[in-house]
Amino acid sequence: MYSKKDYILAIDVGTSRIKAGLVNVDNFKIEVEATREAPLIIQKPKWAEVDLRELWSIICDLASGIVNGRQVRALVFSGHLAGVVPVDSNCNPLRNLIIWLDERASGYPRELFSGLIRFKGYNLLRLLEFLLVTGGAPSKTGKDPISKILWIRDNEPDIWNKTFKFLGTNSFLLAKTTGNYVTSPDDASLTWLLDTRNFRNIWSLRLLRKYGIPIDKLPRIARSIDIAGRIKLEAAKELNIDPNIPVIVGSGDLTSAAVGSGAISKGELHIYVGTSDWIAGHIRERRVDLSHYIGSIPSAIPDMYLIIAEQEVAGAALDFIIEKLGLKGEYDTIENLVMIARPGSQGLIFTPWLYGERCPIDDPEARGALIGLSLAHRREDILRAVMEGVALNIKWAYTYIEKIVGFQNDIRIIGGGAKSDIWCQIIADSIDRTISRVSDPHHATMRGAAMIASLAVGRFKSFEEAAARLSIDKVFKPDIERVNIYNKIFKNYIETYSSLSKIFKSLANGF
């Protein structure tokens, strides 16, 4: 039996923040939470790593501080996807976790980007095989796990030989807490080694053989709503929770947030604005737009896929500019400044490609720019231009994803960036669609993870039943005058990439 005093302990491991929350299993409200800055190690350009011992220590501190004797019924993790860490048979990391941002493996797997017959830089035959089996393909950026695994094989052979399993963020935490090496279909699919045809969700022996990756170095696949195991005594003590509670397989941050958006019916879309941004929606059949780097992965909801257009930088761009302007932490001031700036930012365009881009262009060398800057511009114009630049980038990707799923009149929005009323309105005006903000949008990932866990422990019978407990706190309708302004700016915006791409490449490769 469950009561309103029962909680699910949800751990959201983001790129910039780690959050621990006690989620009420009846209404999915995060009643107690703690957060801390996520550890990030950048040793070299294009490298991005996390020390998992430090990460685990932070998770334990956060969890133990909020539990405080409350009844925790289940534990669930939701971490950033597409990371790789090799571990030994005792789940000890053999190196730092290489996270999704890392581009050291650019150009891997080599065979995929070589050969006589090519399409957009890909070996056509090998590309078609990936598309057939996995529903997608590795990016040239090297950010995908298959690329990172092969880079370790070629550059760290001692670690390769000692590796018992290659894990991601979530699968490492599941092994750490239960002793079982298991991963969810969404996380596994982003290795581009998973056969996702007709929801098979099994490792592709053919692809593994072709790229020389032993299947016994990979974790077992289980559904997101399955129980990975019971928590081990040592981990329970460190987290300050009762031993033997179930640890749920769960899913990655993106797929958990998709559930937490409440947009779970076929074809419904949501927009996430956090450190990065994406547009995603649940669909029944795998779909892909290779030309614009839009693909499908298994959803946390069994027998559904999640179609995703993911972009590398959103809130991180705003945080970057805020810091440079000396306004760090002054979000009310920033909101007011952006509100007084005129739409169009006095002819200023910002491109948010501060860490390359993935969709609708796949270019690790694309960079951010303020175009049209003059002595007449004020800080409010710069701040608004950043919000508009992210919104127009979303519009660029949204144009292609809506062609796949069909016209959308109303779109959910989640993520920390969605707490800004003015940013939500700019996005609504940019894409000319009604935007509905889910209550506590910054909690969507933890809330979605808890919704997944609630089905695993039998609290709800369906995702529809669980999603009915969510609410909308504000609706943003597009204004036709601003829509027209942004449509005009958008034409210039999309031309900036074609005009500057050669310059970006030259700058990235040195003078």
Continuous segment of H or E residues that includes residue 50: strand 49-50
**What letter would DSSP give residue 199?**
G
* CB 348, CB 321: distance < 8 Å: no
pLDDT of 477: 98
- DSSP three-state, residue 57: helix
Please state which of the four CATH numbers 3.30.420.40, 3.30.930.10, 3.40.1370.10, 2.40.37.10 is assigned to the domain occupying 314-409+484-505: 3.30.420.40
pLDDT of 375: 97
Rg (CA), the chain: 22
Q: Does 314-409+484-505 match 6-250+440-470 at the fold level?
A: yes
pLDDT of 511: 53
Tokens 């090297």: give the residue. 142
Nearest CA-CA partner of 165 in 218, 96, 222: 218
Q: Which residues of the chain have pLDDT under 70?
A: 1-5, 511
Q: Which two tokens stand for residue 483?
A: 């829509």
CA distance 14 to 3: 30
**Sequence ranges of the domains in the chain:** 6-250+440-470, 314-409+484-505
pTM of the model: 0.93
Phi–psi pair at 203, nearest 5 degrees: -65, 135
* CB 474, CB 424: distance < 8 Å: yes
| CATH topology (fold) of 6-250+440-470 | Nucleotidyltransferase; domain 5 (3.30.420)
Continuous segment of H or E residues that includes residue 13: strand 6-13
- DSSP three-state, residue 122: strand
Q: Where are the alpha helices (DSSP H) in 341-456?
A: 379-405, 421-431, 444-456
Tokens 């069994």: give the residue. 302
CA distances from residue 395 to 390, 392, 402, 480, 491 in whole angstroms, order as listed: 9, 5, 10, 16, 11
Q: Which two tokens stand for residue 471?
A: 């609410």
Q: Which two tokens stand for residue 395?
A: 């519009």
CA distance 413 to 474: 10
Q: Where are the alpha helices (DSSP H) in 31-108?
A: 52-67
**How far, in whole angstroms, is CA 363 from its chain's centroid?**
18
Strands 295-298 and 118-119: unpaired
pLDDT of 1: 41
Residue type, 430: S
Continuous segment of H or E residues that includes residue 202: strand 202-203
Q: Is the peptide bond before 360 cis (omega within 30 degrees of 0)?
A: yes
